[in-house]
Amino acid sequence: MAAPAEFALIARHFLPLAGPEALGLADDAALLDPPPGRQLVLAADAMVAGVHFLPDDPPETIGRKLLRVNLSDLAAMGAAPLGYLMTTAFPRDLPEAWIAGFVAGLAADQREYGLAVLGGDTVAIPGPISLSLTILGTVAPGAALRRQGARAGDDIWVSGTIGDGALGLRVLQGRLPGDAAGHLADRYRLPRPRLALGAALAGVALAAMDVSDGLVQDLGHLCRAGGVGARLEATAVPLSPAARALVMADPALLALVLTGGDDYELLFVAPPGAAAMVEARAAAAGTPVTRIGEFVEGPEEVLVQGPDGAPLALPAGGWSHF
């Protein structure tokens, strides 16, 4: 459904991203032999300029963020990447250099994560850049990590550090000190999908998800899926040195860290006796993990225990569009 100019665009920029199953992007569809003895894992995410990324973010990181947000969904299921389809809606006056940068970022990530384009579509939009990506992965039958499975007494774990993405967005918006070359801005623009950790947690984690909408809100999803409450220890939540410095200067930023979203870390559940095994698996995957609380009997909600031991009041809701 592409106009002639779009065929040229596809041949010049997107064809080099295509894997053999894409049939040269010259057929009506891709043809793929599903890997034998594996289940398919499928997710799709959309991103819109001015909503999910800043219009002046480098195009190289926008393509990579789109792909990595989807890879993070695979990581949360313990799945391995197989390929992706992407549709792009670009304004007619978008410079071709922007598209070249966008594609260069994707090409770098295809090498890094070992997958390729299976198909897609490129259209025009009289509005902001609008992107959609569908990812395919595979997992051993029955091994997928689900959101349901938490029980009272189980430990709450999280990978990496929390809050960097939300703080990084404010840095890029000029609302917090810092610069576009720093750690926080980088974490906003380039999520690190925890694929190795997700795969390593099979058989030890009871449930998992990725943190995209804010730690507290996403922990609430695990509570509702498991029919349990959660007690989150705010002081246990792992912060990067850059995030810690900002929160120490303005303790009110702790709420943003806990609810801000754009983390793309794994939030997962393990039995209380499994801490050593969790730590060993995470170390083997090269990913730091931290125990940040426990699931409890009671209403399906998250109690955040503040630095003074008292419940911490947080703004309602989780991630919100900026």
User: Residues comprising the binding site?
Assistant: 28, 45, 52, 73, 120-121, 147, 210, 212-213, 262, 319
Among 15, 16, 19, 23, binds a copy of itself (CB under 8 A): 23
Q: How far is CA 244 from CA 45, 240, 249, 313, in A?
A: 30, 6, 9, 20
CB of 58 to a copy of itself, least distance (A): 20
User: How near is the Cβ of 49 to a copy of itself at its closest, in Å?
Assistant: 9
Residues numbered 149-208 forming contacts with a copy of itself, rule: CB under 8 A = none
Which one of residues 9, 30, 106, 216 is an interface residue with a copy of itself (CB under 8 A)?
30
Nearer to a copy of itself, 77 or 176 (CB): 77
Identify residues 49-68 at the interface with a copy of itself (CB under 8 A). Answer: 50-52
CB-nearer residue toward a copy of itself: 37 or 174: 37
Cα–Cα distance list, 145 to 214, 267, 293 (Å): 20, 11, 20
Among 10, 17, 18, 43, binds a copy of itself (CB under 8 A): 43
CB 131 within 8 A of CB 45: no
- The correct pick among 9, 10, 17, 41 for binding a copy of itself (CB under 8 A) is 41
Work out which of 60, 164, 210, 294 binds a copy of itself, going by CB under 8 A.
210
User: b/e per residue, 52-75, with b = 16+ CB within 10 A?
Assistant: bbbeebbbbbbbbbbbbbbbbbbb
Closest CA to 195 of 116, 138, 245, 243: 138
Q: Which residues contact 30 (CB under 8 A, 6 or more apart)?
A: 21, 22, 23, 83, 85, 118, 119
Q: Which of 10, 13, 11, 19 is nearest to 114 (CA)?
A: 19
**27 contributes a contact to a copy of itself by CB under 8 A:** yes
Residues 230-269 touching a copy of itself, rule: CB under 8 A, are: 261
Q: Which residues are annotated as a binding site for substrate?
A: 52, 262, 319
Residue 198's SS3 state is helix
Q: Enumerate residues 268-307 that contact a copy of itself by CB under 8 A.
A: none
User: Pick from 1, 181, 310, 313: which binds a copy of itself (CB under 8 A)?
Assistant: 1
Task: Name which of 49, 61, 47 is nearest 129 in CA terms.
Answer: 49
Judged by CB, which is closer to a copy of itself: 4, or 241? 4
Q: Which of 74, 185, 256, 257 touches a copy of itself by CB under 8 A? A: 74
Q: Which is nearer to a copy of itself, 35 or 286 (CB)?
A: 35
Identify which of residues 224 and 249 has a Cβ nearer to a copy of itself in the complex. 224
- Interaction residues for a copy of itself, span 112-131 (CB under 8 A): 118-128, 130
Looking at the Cβ atoms of 24 and 273, the one nearer to a copy of itself is: 24
* Residue 88 is a binding residue for a copy of itself (CB under 8 A): yes
Whole-angstrom distance, CA of residue 184 vs CA of residue 213? 17
Instruction: Considering only the C-alpha atoms of the chain, give the largest distance between any 2 of them, rounded to a whole number of Å.
Output: 64
- Measured CA to CA, the distance from residue 85 to residue 229 in angstroms comes to 38
- At position 220, the amino acid (one-letter code) is G
Cα 318 to Cα 262: distance, rounded to the nearest angstrom: 11
Cα–Cα nearest to 134, from 45, 47, 29, 30: 45
2-21: contacts with a copy of itself (CB under 8 A)? 2-4
Residue selected from 9, 18, 62, 85 as contacting a copy of itself according to rule CB under 8 A? 85
CB of 224 to a copy of itself, least distance (A): 8
